[in-house]
Amino acid sequence: MEKPPIGLVPVFLLFSLVFPSDPCRLRFKTDQYYQDLYNSLNRRSAIYPFREFFVRHMEDKPRWIFHRRSFGLMGIAAVLGADVFVVMANLGY
């Protein structure tokens, strides 16, 4: 396997910084984040597929927060793991 180009590594690492914004917003501004999502789903002008499904799952707020936080942590772990693999591939390991 060939090494990825050196330009890919910083671009990939910078792109991976975008992902934690959603879990961090959920962690530190939980009520505002929840209310923004709930309001956007309940607007009549919003055209979301499976809107009723998401609204139904958001009605149990503590359960929704738990699931969002656990999936956010798994996502952050996956992004950090991918960062490590890209750096390792570039270093030739």
Please tell me the distance from the alpha carbon of residue 83 to that of residue 40, in angstroms, as a whole number. Answer: 33
Q: 57 near 64, Cβ under 8 Å?
A: yes
Q: Position of tokens 């942590």?
A: 73
Global pTM reads: 0.65
Evaluate if residue 83 carries a pLDDT over 80.
Answer: yes
Among 29, 31, 16, 19, CA closest to 73: 19
| Domain locations along the chain | 8-88
Taking only the tens place, the pLDDT of each residue in 28-79 is 888 888 888 888 887 776 676 777 888 888 888 899 889 888 888 888 888 8
Evaluate if residue 25 carries a pLDDT over 80.
Answer: no
